[in-house]
Amino acid sequence: MDNNFDTIHEFEQALSKFTGAPYVIMTDCCTHAIELCLRYDQITQCSFTAYTYLSIPMTMHKLGIDYRLLDTPNWIGEYAFENTRIWDSARLLRQDMYRPGQMQCLSFGYSKPLEIGRGGAILLDDSTAYNKMIKQRYDGRDLTISPWQTQKTFEIGADFAELFMEVVVSMLRYPENEKFPCIVTWIFLNFQVTIPAI
Ligand SMILES: Cc1ncc(COP(=O)(O)O)c(C=O)c1O
């Protein structure tokens, strides 16, 4: 496997161990993690708090989802898309935070508990969903196959997301990243994540 993708895989394993989620899919941001889940579950209707980030209702528009905004300002760390198993957990990172049966979407962007600079992840326990979305997050590619040109089949429709995984890899990989010199080591050794107030 390519070294860059080893880094992603290592990070996913660290997150899996930390959060208790059997499967973890790293993405370029939380918004795209949520988009992958909404598409996978073919959500057509949902309700969620109005007190969220702009990209969330914009994604609903993009996907043609009929949504209702709720006057619920007091969520802490994460909120559910009601009537779905999908969560916007952009502002939460806590040991054993995984909720069985659910798909929780994390962010590693600016002001988030683990601020890499950019990045997101899906926590889940559905192996079928995992096997599909793990390829969808990066142009249908199976990152265990290198070089990618030797991959035999690419599923149609797996290339919808313009995911900038290279950016995420570079942020994870380089020790010069001032905030977290080695993110994987940091997760394993410290397990101490502060949750900023929203
Ligand atoms: C509650 C919430 N959800 C989603 C997002 C989007 O996260 P990302 O920038 O990783 O797509 C943000 C970003 O600030 C957020 O605050």
At 10, which CATH number?
3.40.640.10
- The mean of the pLDDT values for the chain is 82
Q: Is 120 in the pocket of ligand 1 (CB under 6 A)?
A: yes
Does a structural domain hold residue 120?
yes
- The pLDDT confidence band at residue 198, using thresholds 50, 70 and 90, is very low
Does a structural domain hold residue 107?
yes
Q: Is 53 in the pocket of ligand 1 (CB under 6 A)?
A: yes
Q: What is the pLDDT of residues 101-149, one digit of tens each?
A: 999 999 988 888 887 777 899 999 999 999 989 888 877 788 788 888 8
Nearest to 126 by CA among 10, 44, 41: 41
Spacing, Cα 106 to ligand 1 middle (Å): 8
Does a structural domain hold residue 198?
no
13 by DSSP, 3-state: which? helix
Share of the chain above pLDDT 90, in %: 47
Which domain does 117 fall in, by range?
A: 3-190
Q: How many CB atoms lie within 10 A of CB 101?
A: 9
Does a structural domain hold residue 195?
no
> Cα separation of 101 and 123, whole Å?
10
Q: How many CB atoms lie within 10 A of CB 99?
A: 17
Spacing, Cα 30 to ligand 1 middle (Å): 6
Does a structural domain hold residue 196?
no
Does a structural domain hold residue 67?
yes
- The pLDDT confidence band at residue 177, using thresholds 50, 70 and 90, is low
Spacing, Cα 159 to ligand 1 middle (Å): 22
11 burial class (0-12, 13-18, 19+ CB within 10 angstroms)? buried
Going by alpha carbons, the residue nearest to atom 14 of ligand 1 is 53
Strand partners, 140: none
Nearest atom, ligand 1, residue 79 CA: 1
> What's this model's pTM, rounded to 2 decimal places?
0.84
Q: Is 47 in the pocket of ligand 1 (CB under 6 A)?
A: no
- Mean pLDDT: which of 87-91, 134-138, 181-185 is highest? 87-91
**What's the domain count of the chain?**
1
> Cα separation of 2 and 4, whole Å?
5
Phi, psi of 57 (to 5 degrees): -60, -30
Q: How many CB atoms lie within 10 A of CB 94?
A: 16
Sequence letter at residue 9 = H
Does a structural domain hold residue 129?
yes
Does a structural domain hold residue 115?
yes
- Of 19-23, 185-189, 191-195, least confident by mean pLDDT is 191-195
